[in-house]
Amino acid sequence: MKTLLATAAMAVITTTAAHAGPAADMAQARIASIAKGDTPTVAGAYNDGATLHWVGGPLDGTYKGSEIKAVWEKFAKAQPNLTANVMDVSEAMNPKGATVTANVVFAGKDKIPVRYVMLFRDGKLVDEIWQVDPALAK
């Protein structure tokens, strides 16, 4: 009986750990849209006061408002037809919002290794950090 209960408890823990929450699902969809170069979907995910912090690489800078869409258009044009290898997704949630972090290596013309942090409130992206991290490409 103890073995059966222990096995059942492990199944619940494993199932719970494997189930992504709504913010992790939004993050996964976002990463797929970036890889496809779907700029309207990528830019449409932000709330009005959102900030994008791009750290490293040729697009390094902090962007707000219409600058965000412009930087994603520039990225999509420079890096078409990407694949995304997503690793280490982590979601933290409470009633006020959710933060998702992930390590992602986008690959196409170039490899772009990214430590990605997304802050969602009310289903919209309010703050985002795109940290180019060469250590991920190894």
pTM score: 0.83
CA dihedral 58, 69, 61, 63 (to 10 degrees): 180
pLDDT tens across the length of the chain (138 residues): 444 333 333 333 322 334 468 999 999 999 999 999 999 999 999 999 999 999 999 999 999 999 999 999 999 999 999 999 999 999 999 999 999 999 999 999 899 999 999 999 999 999 999 999 989 877
Pairing of strands 46-55, 61-64: antiparallel
Tokens of 19: 């189930």
Question: By the 8 A CB rule, do 25 and 18 touch?
Answer: no
